[in-house]
Amino acid sequence: MTTITIFGVGLIGGSLALCFKDKPGFRVIGHSVRQASVDKYVQRGVVDAATTSMEEAAENADFIFLCVPVGNLDEYVRKLSRMKLKPGCIITDVGSTKASVAASASSLQLKGAVFIGGHPMAGSERSGVEAASSHLFENAYYVLTPDRETPREALDRLTELLEHTKAHIVAVDAEEHDEIVGAISHLPHIIAVALVNQIRGYNETNALYEALAAGGFRDITRIASGDPVIWRDILLHNKSVLLRLLHDWREGTDRFIELIGAGDADGIEEAFRSAGHFRSQLPERRKGMLQALYECYIDVPDHPGIIGRIATELGDNRINLSNLQIIESREDVPGILRLSFRKQEELDRAVRLLDSLDFRVHY
Ligand SMILES: NC(=O)c1ccc[n+]([C@@H]2O[C@H](COP(=O)([O-])OP(=O)(O)OC[C@H]3O[C@@H](n4cnc5c(N)ncnc54)[C@H](O)[C@@H]3O)[C@@H](O)[C@H]2O)c1
Ligand SMILES: O=C(O)C(=O)C[C@]1(C(=O)O)C=C[C@@H](O)C=C1
């Protein structure tokens, strides 16, 4: 029996637990500092058993996943280093920054256990075990950050276990990870939050800002709703990288001030063209499950039952909807529904079907 212990059964810890739970030969143990959370994990069937005792959770584990906020990782690694663990136990984490936890672990004697940093490149703005899903990591990249000391056999064992997530496992140096993930994840979160707060300020004197905010604003700001504690810790643990990136970002916005100020039409077009070109090359598989892979938008007249009818028509025609979101719904305008599918072929069939039913469909 392989025992997998998860400290912090939230969005990421809970999703990992669901990837392993009920697989033959696996037993999944959850840990929380709060009894109410322990009860909830068990009630929801996310883990086989749970406890508030760190020793009890860790003692028989073959794999330990630390899925707590980045700011708590050092404390967890330190506590584990003082415990008697099963020989050969692999300790890993899922923190969004990697250099600081790698430094904590390498400064400690883990008494026969091995630490290998990890970071699944999938998630969402939601948090807590309620948002967990066994599909979260499918087709996403899952970064591991072994170093020169990491035994090959341990890396292979962890990689083999993580195959249950259906993610693509890649090994990346911890510092390089923080550099790149700072740019493609942490900086965008900062920009989204700064933008929302800028608009929130304008909205205080004119509520039309909020009322008129449509698809563009929502698309670029979804991630501004991330958990404040999780993101506080991430930003503070990638400080030097982020300060450099923010400096570059300021140059990017200064460039727009120049282009617009000078009425440089060609320069503006070129900025959009090169960005669009780069973005269109991003591999689809990098998107996590909670993001749409293939999407279309439908104008829906504001009358009861319409959403149910669309879902039923798709279901009757065996077209699998991966997500359905109302992105605009006010009394005075038609609503807009965003439908997401996992496959191009499903999107194509949905568009043909909805067209034939006289819905206005846009891509
Ligand atoms: N949210 C994402 O998109 C995402 C993606 C990849 C990795 N991560 C990383 O995963 C880790 C967990 O994030 P999440 O999104 O699952 O958050 P979450 O809030 O859903 O889960 C965090 C878990 O840690 C527990 N916890 C919080 N504070 C604690 C403390 N002080 N001591 C002990 N336990 C505590 C919570 O009870 C919860 O079970 C973080 O390190 C984060 O950087 C997040
Ligand atoms: O999809 C989202 O909402 C996320 O924020 C996921 C996301 C990201 O892509 O930036 C956020 C943090 C992670 O550590 C990994 C992935």
Q: Is 69 in the pocket of ligand 1 (CB under 6 A)?
A: yes
Cα 41 to averaged position of ligand 1 atoms, centre (Å): 14
Same domain, 168 and 313: no
| pLDDT, tens digit, 9 for 90 and up, residues 97-120 | 999 999 999 998 888 899 999 999
3-state SS of 99-137 is HHHHHHHHCCCCCCCEEEEEEECCCCCCCCHHHCCCCCC
> Using an 8 Å Cβ cutoff, are 3 and 60 in contact?
yes
User: What share of the chain in percent tops pLDDT 90?
Assistant: 80
Residue 294 has pLDDT above 90, yes or no: no
Q: To test ligand 2's pocket by mutation, which of 223, 231, 293 has the most ligand atoms within 8 angstroms of CB? A: 223
Q: What single letter denotes the amino acid at residue 267?
A: G
Alpha-carbon distance of 102 to 117, in angstroms, equals 6
Per-range mean pLDDT, top range of 60-69, 275-284, 317-326: 60-69
Same domain, 131 and 244: no
Same domain, 309 and 263: no
Same domain, 280 and 304: no
Q: To test ligand 1's pocket by mutation, which of 5, 7, 12, 235 has the most ligand atoms within 8 angstroms of CB? A: 12
As for how many domains the chain has, the answer is 3
| pLDDT for residue 257 | 98
Same domain, 7 and 67: yes
Same domain, 29 and 132: yes
Give one DSSP letter per residue of 273-312, joined into a string: HHHHHHHHTS-GGGS-TTS-SEEEEEEE-S-TTHHHHHHH
Q: Is 8 in the pocket of ligand 1 (CB under 6 A)?
A: yes
Residue 13 has pLDDT above 50, yes or no: yes
- 15: which 2 tokens? 């999703």
Residue 252: phi, psi to the nearest 5? -65, -40
Q: What single letter denotes the amino acid at residue 80?
A: L
Give one DSSP letter per residue of 22-71, joined into a string: TSTTEEEEEE-SSHHHHHHHHHTTSSSEEES-HHHHHTT-SEEEE-S-HH
Same domain, 183 and 48: no
Same domain, 194 and 168: no
From 173, 208, 236, give the residue that closes a domain.
173
As a 3-state breakdown, the chain gives helix, strand, coil percent values, each rounded to 5, of 50, 20, 30
Same domain, 190 and 310: no
Residue 28 has pLDDT above 50, yes or no: yes
Cα 51 to averaged position of ligand 1 atoms, centre (Å): 17
Same domain, 10 and 75: yes
Q: Is 37 in the pocket of ligand 1 (CB under 6 A)?
A: yes
Average pLDDT over residues 327-346: 73
Closest ligand, as measured to the CA of 228: 1
> Using an 8 Å Cβ cutoff, are 119 and 96 in contact?
yes
Lowest-pLDDT choice from 122-126, 198-202, 228-232: 122-126
Q: What single letter denotes the amino acid at residue 44?
A: R
Alpha-carbon distance of 32 to 6, in angstroms, equals 9
DSSP structural state of residue 89: P
Q: Which domain holds residue 130?
A: 2-173
Residue 69 has pLDDT above 80, yes or no: yes
Alpha-carbon distance of 188 to 182, in angstroms, equals 9
CA distances from 245 to 112, 186, 240 (A): 39, 10, 9
| pLDDT for residue 136 | 95
Alpha-carbon distance of 54 to 64, in angstroms, equals 11
> Using an 8 Å Cβ cutoff, are 51 and 57 in contact?
yes
Residue 4: phi, psi to the nearest 5? -120, 120
Cα 156 to averaged position of ligand 1 atoms, centre (Å): 26
Same domain, 163 and 304: no
Closest ligand, as measured to the CA of 229: 1
DSSP structural state of residue 225: G
Average pLDDT over residues 29-57: 97
Residue nearest to atom 1 of ligand 2 (CA): 124
Atom number in ligand 1 closest to CA 122: 5
What number of residues does the chain have? 363
Cα 148 to averaged position of ligand 2 atoms, centre (Å): 28
| pLDDT for residue 198 | 98
From 151, 173, 195, give the residue that closes a domain.
173
Q: Which residues pair with 50 in a beta bridge?
A: 30
Alpha-carbon distance of 215 to 226, in angstroms, equals 19
From 155, 173, 191, give the residue that closes a domain.
173
Atom number in ligand 2 closest to CA 186: 10
Residue nearest to atom 40 of ligand 1 (CA): 69
Same domain, 10 and 150: yes
| pLDDT, tens digit, 9 for 90 and up, residues 223-271 | 999 999 999 999 999 999 999 999 999 999 999 999 999 999 999 999 9
Q: To test ligand 2's pocket by mutation, which of 121, 143, 218, 289 has the most ligand atoms within 8 angstroms of CB? A: 121
Q: If we measure between CA atoms, which residue out of 116, 166, 124 comes closest to residue 146?
A: 116
Residue nearest to atom 26 of ligand 1 (CA): 68
Residues with CB under 6 A from ligand 2: 96, 121-125, 185, 223, 226, 288, 291
Residue nearest to atom 10 of ligand 2 (CA): 185
Cα 168 to averaged position of ligand 1 atoms, centre (Å): 21
What is the CATH classification number for the domain harbouring 325?
3.30.2130.10
Confidence of residue 305 (pLDDT cuts 50, 70, 90): confident
pTM of the model: 0.83
What is the CATH classification number for the domain harbouring 226?
1.10.3660.10
Confidence of residue 206 (pLDDT cuts 50, 70, 90): very high
322 or 301, which is more confident: 322
Residue 289 has pLDDT above 50, yes or no: no
Residue nearest to atom 2 of ligand 2 (CA): 124
Average pLDDT over residues 56-60: 97
Cα 284-119-282 angle, rounded to 5 deg: 20
| pLDDT for residue 87 | 95
What is the CATH classification number for the domain harbouring 117?
3.40.50.720
- In whole angstroms, what separates CA 344 from the centre of its chain? 23
